[in-house]
Amino acid sequence: MKKVIRSISIIKAKLPVAEMFGFNSSLKSSTGGQGFFWLIDVKYEPLPKELEQKVVTQIRSRKGITADEEEETAPVIDVDLPAGLEGLSLDTLKQAITVVTENNDIKRLTIDSISALKLGMDEKQFRHELIRFFDYISSLGITSLIVAEIPSSAIEERFSVEHFLSQGVVFLRLIRVKDEKIRAVEIHKLRAVKHDLTLRPLTMDDTGVTIYPEERVFVSGLND
């Protein structure tokens, strides 16, 4: 039986992470399923000037932020963490944040979602790394909003390590009431700040999030 050895082309390239989404599908499609790639986290560097406005516009569109709203806010770091991206870790995230904060007067940091980094780690390793990361975030002296995703059942059962490390915990919940699902917000804790403990309904649309502070969500077992 004659063996046919096909030629293999190896291409080495440096790509921004934002351009990697959907890359695997495109590669498989264009090579008949034969192409494959390795991803290595190389370094962080400033975005080229010619791409800055494009990226800013994409983020504003995704977040529903108008140009006027952007100008009124303080300088922020907005980190979107895709699940399952190879080479992603709390250490690489820390390096990226350090590069930005060293040269800019950043006032606020948002990370969505820290749970993406939990994939590929065991529970013990994740807790250890997260404690170190929260210590680092605290040392920056900026307001930080860290988004985490947890099952609804875990909210009532136990505190996660994120709860203990955070100064405040706010749950955005999707609750079934009879034949429909209702979005609600619950302030679980705000250290040293008096706060509302009532489960309040909220809505989400293209204009943002609206909370109804005069209304309550009544669910058996939650409002007793």
Tens of pLDDT along 59-106?
677 666 665 555 445 567 777 766 555 556 778 888 888 888 877 778
pLDDT > 70 in the chain, percent: 74
Beta-sheet strand order (sheet of 168-177): 168-177, 180-190, 200-205, 208-211
Q: How do residues 93-143 score in pLDDT, each as one tens digit? A: 888 888 888 777 788 888 888 877 777 677 788 888 888 888 888 888 888
What DSSP string describes 72-130?
HSPPEEEEE--TT-TT--HHHHHHHHHHHHHSS---EEEEE-GGGGGTTS-HHHHHHHH
CATH of 40-161, one of 2.60.40, 1.10.10, 1.20.1050, 3.40.50: 3.40.50
* Average pLDDT of the chain to the nearest whole number: 76
CB contact at 8 A, 77 and 97: yes
CB contact at 8 A, 109 and 143: yes
Contacts 24+ apart (CB under 8 A), 67-71: none
User: How far is the C-alpha of 137 from the C-alpha of 195, rounded, in Å?
Assistant: 24
**Taking 60 as the threshold, does the pLDDT of residue 2 lie above it?**
no
Q: Is the pTM of this model over 0.75?
A: no
Residues in a beta bridge with 181 = 176
Burial track 100-132 (b if 16+ CB lie within 10 A, e otherwise): ebeeeebeebebbbbbbbbeeeeeeebbebbee
pLDDT for 4 equals 45
Burial track 25-57 (b if 16+ CB lie within 10 A, e otherwise): eeeeeeeeeeeeeeeeeeeeeeeeeeeeeeeee
Please give the structure tokens belonging to residue 43. Answer: 């370094």
pLDDT for 6 equals 62
pLDDT for 83 equals 56
Query: Among the listed ranges 5-14, 49-58, 80-89, which one has the minimum average pLDDT value?
Result: 80-89
Residue 220: asked if its preceding bond is cis (omega within 30°), the reply is no
Residue predicted with more confidence, 198 or 154: 198
Sequence ranges of the chain with CATH classification 3.40.50: 40-161
User: How far is the C-alpha of 210 from the C-alpha of 22, rounded, in Å?
Assistant: 33
Q: What are phi and psi of 189, to 5 degrees?
A: -160, 145
